[in-house]
């Protein structure tokens, strides 16, 4: 080919190549669109350990990038003999990101570690893979015992609150009597669960849960591992440990420092669920009641066991009840004050009250007042005279000292009933009506000062006697100040069923007055109609229900008490008339609290155990030896009408009646 021809061919080739390209205006010579770009990745846990014959799961996550938005199909390979892999779902659809891979082994799967490959495939994108190191282990021998825990969850209280430790129970199979070593896994270093004992040779161990400091709020899963001695196997169980800040709200229920430990405190707003309340470090439980009615449940120690107390009120009543709790004398200290009585002849008794502590002595004896609250306190002392009538102990001299603030360990000036500061009490004659000849009655008297001190007019409660005309003692008006109130408690007692049960009040009058100088006639209310008490069906077992009617005199509400002396388990439900929203009828039952965090089966009334019950109309009837109410009369405002919803006032009178019985839940 000549040079000219070669130049012509080359030029033609260049022109042809240019014709195949795009023009500068973007319109000439456009070819087919390029394939969209985009991809995805898959990821999951890098390792999984599964015992022979068991299964485990891995969460597979897909991450899309670029223009890729499609579905991803999953498959697994390298499973090994006897191992199966199942995805749920097997295709991660558009807009979805996860699938659960279940790797199941058989009893014959080889022990060891293999690499399982998960492959993700999709239209328009390259396949992607991820690997899981599957370790198959020999199964752990099941222990020759089983374990149970009294809680499913536990709320970590502030460090100055005493918790009720859960109980771990080990039940051994026949032939196994060895020790079980206990340990805990799954908790951060700042949380600990400790066992007493941690090498269990008996059947139960207490579990102490401690926040060692700095644990963030949250729910933590604790796994308890029990290992049988001699390598005979192990068992595990789990429970949730909750760390939470103090609950907030506009209702503030405060317990006095040094008062009975509050192991459990929960609130129910209307018909909602029971919700655990976390206290502040100064024992204030704050919460809201948005519904017209609400309930509070607390658990305290009682007679070596547990008492569950439930308050069912309207929202306004709940706020008033909370404000009455610990309203007078709030806090205790190590302050101890000593003293002596003077001017007491023979073996007669005298008693003194300061704050909420009582002291007494025979003759010119000594006394000590312990754990007194801080600040100034009133002192109320009474000397009992010679017995003037059968089984009647009169009061013949009294002393009141206002706003005394002694140092701890100091001694008060002698309470000399012959000194100028002493005075004679007033007397009046009261006649009590609506009392049958077969119903002996007692009268007990207290004097509560505006400063929160309670004084008693006799060392012992009034003795049951037949006479219905009694002498009532009082503090003269000149010795009182505004806010002082006498509390006169008249009680008709009855023997509970069965005959071995303790004496309990059947009808009662609680009345208040600043002075007691005039004679008075006052009547007890009618006998309380017997309720129908039955067992609440379903789980949890052991709950009782009381249904009945209330006489008009007892219309303030009803209190339902349940006692199991043999197990030291007690429950009380206080319910007001407005909560019931019915006139003259009630239907009250021990609630199911098992859904609240930290509810412990130790607290509950036991099924199959003989149980005494009593239903009180008009509010909780006061038994002198029942410290829940007489004790609280000095630290909380107790009225006899539903435990303090209304602050007692001069002239207030409350009537209560009680029916009593027994059953086996």
pLDDT digits (tens, 9 = 90+) for 632-645: 544 565 544 454 46
Q: What's the average model confidence in pLDDT over 163-171?
A: 96
Q: Flag whether pLDDT at 499 surpasses 60.
A: no
Give 194-221 pLDDT, tens digit per residue. 999 999 999 999 999 999 888 999 999 9
Of the two residues 503 and 472, the one the predictor is more confident about is 472
End-to-end C-alpha distance for the chain, whole angstroms: 118
Of the two residues 440 and 462, the one the predictor is more confident about is 440
Say how far apart CA 613 and CA 58 lie, in whole Å. Answer: 54
Beta carbons within 10 angstroms of residue 244's beta carbon? 15
Can you give the pLDDT at residue 270?
A: 96
Can you give the pLDDT at residue 496?
A: 44
**What is the DSSP code string of 603-638?**
GSPPTTS-EEEEEEETSPPPPTT-HHHHTHHHHS--
> Closest Cα to residue 165, out of 157, 174, 173?
157
Q: Flag whether pLDDT at 178 surpasses 80.
A: yes
Ranges 52-56, 380-384, 571-575: which has the least confidence: 52-56
Say how far apart CA 599 and CA 597 lie, in whole Å. Answer: 6
Question: Which residue bears the tokens 């405060």?
Answer: 254
Containing H/E element for 317? helix 315-324
Instruction: For the chain, give the percent of residues with pLDDT over 70.
Output: 87
Q: Flag whether pLDDT at 281 surpasses 50.
A: yes
Say how far apart CA 428 and CA 438 lie, in whole Å. Answer: 25
Q: Which is it for strands 125-137 and 47-51: parallel, antiparallel or unpaired?
A: parallel
Say how far apart CA 159 and CA 63 lie, in whole Å. Answer: 45
Say how far apart CA 199 and CA 194 lie, in whole Å. Answer: 11
Q: Which is it for strands 125-137 and 84-88: parallel, antiparallel or unpaired?
A: unpaired
Q: What's the average model confidence in pLDDT over 378-384?
A: 95
Six-digit token string for 243: 């760390």
Beta carbons within 10 angstroms of residue 608's beta carbon? 9
Of the two residues 13 and 497, the one the predictor is more confident about is 497
Instruction: For the chain, give the percent of residues with pLDDT over 90.
Output: 62
Ranges 10-14, 625-629, 647-651, 656-660: which has the least confidence: 10-14
Can you give the pLDDT at residue 573?
A: 95
Can you give the pLDDT at residue 12?
A: 29
C-alpha dist (Å) from residue 645 to 53, 271, 318, 319, 621: 62, 22, 8, 9, 15
Give this prediction's pTM: 0.77
Can you give the pLDDT at residue 346?
A: 85
Can you give the pLDDT at residue 305?
A: 94
Phi, psi (rounded to 5 degrees) for 634: -100, -15
Give 303-340 pLDDT, tens digit per residue. 899 999 999 999 999 998 888 877 766 677 889 999 99
Can you give the pLDDT at residue 503?
A: 59
Can you give the pLDDT at residue 387?
A: 66
C-alpha dist (Å) from residue 140 to 231, 235, 410: 10, 9, 66
Can you give the pLDDT at residue 409?
A: 96
Can you give the pLDDT at residue 371?
A: 86
Six-digit token string for 43: 């990821």
Strand partners, 51: 137
């Amino acid at each position: 080919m000549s040079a000219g021809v070669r130049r012509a061919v080359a030029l033609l080739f260049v022109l042809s190549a240019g014709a195949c390209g795009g023009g500068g205006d973007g319109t000439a010579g456009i070819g087919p669109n390029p394939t969209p770009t985009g991809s995805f990745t898959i990821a999951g846990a890098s390792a999984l350990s599964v015992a022979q014959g068991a299964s485990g799961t891995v969460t597979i996550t897909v991450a899309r990038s670029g223009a890729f938005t499609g579905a991803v199909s999953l498959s697994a390979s390298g499973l090994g003999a006897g191992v199966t892999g199942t995805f749920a779902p097997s295709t991660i659809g558009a807009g979805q990101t996860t699938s659960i891979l279940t790797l199941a082994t058989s009893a014959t799967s080889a022990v060891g570690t293999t690499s399982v490959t998960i492959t993700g495939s999709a239209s328009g994108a390259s396949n992607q893979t991820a690997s899981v190191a599957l370790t198959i282990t020999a199964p752990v021998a099941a222990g020759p015992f089983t374990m149970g825990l009294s809680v499913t969850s536990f709320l970590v209280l502030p460090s100055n609150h005493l918790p009720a430790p859960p109980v771990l129970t080990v039940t051994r199979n026949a032939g196994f009597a060895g020790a079980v070593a206990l340990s805990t896994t799954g908790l951060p270093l700042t949380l600990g669960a400790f066992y007493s004992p941690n090498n269990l040779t008996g059947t139960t161990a207490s579990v102490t849960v401690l926040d060692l400091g700095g644990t963030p709020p949250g729910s933590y899963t604790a796994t308890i591992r029990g290992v049988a001695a001699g390598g005979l196997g192990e068992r595990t169980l789990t429970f949730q440990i909750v760390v939470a800040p103090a609950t907030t709200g506009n209702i503030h229920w405060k317990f006095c420092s040094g008062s009975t430990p509050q192991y459990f405190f929960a609130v129910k707003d209307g018909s909602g669920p029971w919700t655990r309340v976390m206290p502040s470090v100064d024992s204030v439980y704050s919460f809201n009641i948005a519904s017209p009615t609400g309930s509070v449940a607390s658990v305290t120690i009682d007679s070596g066991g547990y008492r569950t107390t439930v308050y069912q009120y309207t929202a306004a009543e709940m706020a008033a009840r909370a404000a009455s709790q610990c309203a007078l004398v709030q806090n205790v200290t190590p302050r101890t004050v000593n003293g002596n009585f003077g001017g007491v002849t023979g073996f007669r008794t005298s008693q003194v009250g300061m704050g909420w502590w009582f002291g007494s002595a025979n003759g010119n004896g000594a006394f000590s007042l312990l754990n007194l609250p801080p600040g100034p306190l009133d002192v109320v002392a009474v000397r009992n005279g010679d017995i003037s009538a059968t089984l009647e102990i009169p009061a013949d001299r009294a002393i009141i000292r206002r706003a005394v603030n002694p140092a701890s360990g100091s001694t008060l000036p002698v309470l000399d009933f012959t000194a100028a500061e002493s005075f004679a009490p007033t007397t009046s004659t009261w006649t009590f009506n609506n009392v049958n000849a077969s119903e002996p009655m007692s009268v007990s008297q207290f004097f509560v000062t505006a400063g929160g001190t309670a004084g008693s007019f006799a060392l012992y409660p009034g003795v049951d006697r037949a006479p219905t005309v009694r002498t009532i003692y009082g503090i003269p008006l000149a010795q009182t100040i505004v806010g002082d109130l006498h509390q006169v408690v008249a009680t008709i007692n009855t023997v509970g069923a069965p005959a071995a049960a303790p004496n309990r009040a059947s009808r009662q009058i609680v009345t208040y007055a600043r002075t007691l100088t005039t004679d008075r006639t006052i009547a007890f209310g009618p006998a309380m109609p017997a309720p129908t008490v039955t067992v609440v069906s379903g789980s949890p077992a052991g709950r009782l229900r009381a249904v009945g009617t209330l006489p008009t005199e007892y219309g303030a509400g009803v209190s339902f008490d349940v006692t199991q002396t043999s197990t030291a388990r007690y429950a009380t439900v206080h319910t007001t008339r407005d909560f019931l929203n019915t006139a003259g009828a009630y239907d009250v039952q021990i609630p199911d609290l098992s859904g609240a965090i930290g509810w412990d089966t130790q607290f509950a009334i036991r099924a199959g155990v003989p149980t005494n019950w009593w239903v009180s109309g008009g509010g909780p009837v006061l038994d002198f030896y029942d410290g829940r109410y007489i004790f609280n009369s000095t630290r909380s405002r107790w009225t006899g009408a539903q435990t303090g919803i209304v602050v007692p006032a001069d002239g207030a009178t409350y009537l209560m009646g009680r029916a009593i019985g027994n059953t086996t839940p």
